[in-house]
Amino acid sequence: MDNTYDVLIIGAGIIGCCTAFELSKMGYKTLNMDKLPAAGYGSTSNSCAIVRFHYSTPDGVAMAREGYFYWLDWPKYLETRDDRGLAVYRNTGALVVKTETNKYLKHVMASLDALGIGYVEVDPADMVKFVPNADIRSYFPCRTMDDPAFGQPGADTIKGAIWIPESGYVSDPQLSTHNVQVAAEAKGAAFCFNAEVVEILKRKGRISGVTLKDQGAVFAPVVLNAAGPHSHMINAMAGVLEGMNIRTRPLKQEVCHVPAPKGVDWERDGFLLSDGDIGCYSRPEVGNHILIGSEDPPCDQLEWIDDPDDYSKNFSRQWTTQVLREAQRIPGLPVPNQPQGIVDLYDVTDDWLPIYDTSDLPGFYLAVGTSGNQYKNAPVVGKLMAELIHTCENGQDHDSNPYQFFMAYTKRTCDVGFFSRRRKINPESSFSVIG
């Protein structure tokens, strides 16, 4: 490994790898450093890898729409082969339930209309066409298991849903990250694993490199923090926290894997279900299973983690809560005695919207707060961050004159200032994994 580069990228998750790919195509000599043994081994590997458009803000919807086209033709994006094979995008469609929390999807539908994304409004009675024997009673507001009213429906039915045909998921998020690593290496990028950053180096008021545990110093005039759940620690090392109005924290998340109801081939016929009425999202999983995650309703206690290297990876009552909530909508859903699924950390900002930005330390850039809802956007974010770095290193003051990123597929311009570390908390956010 050389000790001098143009750009150092802390993290080799999907966003760090996509940014390396794009910078390498622009001629930058890059090095991704990750404390884990391979690309995508962190929170990326445990991403639900869902590709969908129902974000709470128009900018979120637009970014997701742009990203969709990259996944649709993954080999074209990569420009190379991976001997391990390629990750596959599986289009299933998405059914999104209207609730008071998501303002009955009025803003989402307006954003979909503006982008020309097709959808169909679904009456409650028509839910049975999508979910076998669907229970269309409303269980809102969501409750925890210690609430006496848990599992008790109200007098009303749900208010309907929208069906978005162009939605789905990626078969193997870790493999997709390895695909991008191989593509980046083909353009000259370098990767260093089992490499823990222990110090941020500065010289004459700007970044100059990092020190790696047991491997010494590596130098570059530009460093990108794409460290996922460790991003807060890296920002603290860099001394940039005081300049951030929006910050990140690691959040423990549990995702359940349960068998489909008897007689239902959910792996073949299933789809994405975003159901704020019961506080869960789900998608098909291999082995005719259903993967179930939480949409973080207000009743659930969020478990913030101080040290991302020291937390319990055991399932809690939250696992059972999520499965029972999903069973409220899908009668016959089994509730296994032994929990199966994933326990991992999300890197979450104060308003659940990511930070793509410069920092108060010249040469130090941020692609943080991305967990839970940005996997699908990674190819777009990689291009955005590469162009942001290139533009700012050539003299543009992004804080006073935010970079305008042109999205090639949707032919739209994104004001990257929307993702600023200095922004006020965005009241349009869902303040949940929905983003």
Tell me what the mean pLDDT of segment 399-412 comes to: 97
**pLDDT tens column, 235-265:** 999 999 999 999 999 999 999 999 999 999 9
Mean pLDDT estimate for the chain: 96
Q: What is the CATH number of domain 7-85+172-247+351-419?
A: 3.50.50.60
pLDDT at 342 over 80: yes
pLDDT at 1: 74
Residue 57 one-letter amino acid: T
- Predicted pLDDT at 34: 98
pLDDT digits (tens, 9 = 90+) for 108-123: 999 999 999 999 999 9
Superfamily designation of domain 94-165+250-348: D-Amino Acid Oxidase, subunit A, domain 2 (3.30.9.10)
Does 373 score more than 90 pLDDT?
no
Question: What is the rounded distance in angstroms from the CA atom of residue 177 to the CA atom of residue 179?
Answer: 5
Q: What is the pLDDT of residue 296?
A: 94
Q: How confident is the model at residue 300 (pLDDT cuts 50, 70, 90)?
A: very high
Phi, psi (deg, nearest 5) at residue 110: -65, -40
pLDDT at 210 over 80: yes
The contacts of residue 400 (CB under 8 Å, 6+ apart) are none
Query: Is residue 54 over pLDDT 90?
Result: yes
Residue 377's pLDDT is: 97
- Work out the average pLDDT over 358-386: 96
Confidence class of residue 128 from pLDDT cuts 50, 70 and 90?
confident
Answer yes or no: is pLDDT of 329 > 90.
yes
Give residue 418's pLDDT band: very low, low, confident or very high (50, 70, 90).
very high
**pLDDT of 184-202, one tens digit each?**
999 999 999 999 999 999 9
Pairing relationship of beta strands 94-97 and 7-10 according to DSSP bridges: unpaired
Q: Cα 55 vs. chain centroid, distance in angstroms?
A: 12
How confident is the model over 91-95, as a mean pLDDT?
Answer: 98
Phi, psi of 384 (to 5 degrees): -60, -50
Enter the DSSP assignment of 140.
P
- pLDDT tens readout for residues 16-31: 999 999 999 999 999 9
State whether residue 18 is helix, strand or coil. Answer: helix
The pLDDT value recorded for residue 336 is: 94
Q: What is the 8-class DSSP label of residue 65?
A: H
pLDDT value at 132 more than 90: no
Q: Where are the domains of the chain?
A: 7-85+172-247+351-419, 94-165+250-348
Query: Would you call 185 exposed, middle or buried from its count of C-beta atoms within 10 A (0-12, 13-18, 19+)?
Result: middle
Q: Residue 131 has what pLDDT?
A: 86
pLDDT of 414 over the 90 cut: yes
Span 299-310, average pLDDT: 95
> Is the separation of the CB atoms in 435 and 429 below 8 Å?
yes
Output phi, psi for 206, to 5 deg. -140, 170
Give me the mean pLDDT over the 176-191 stretch: 98
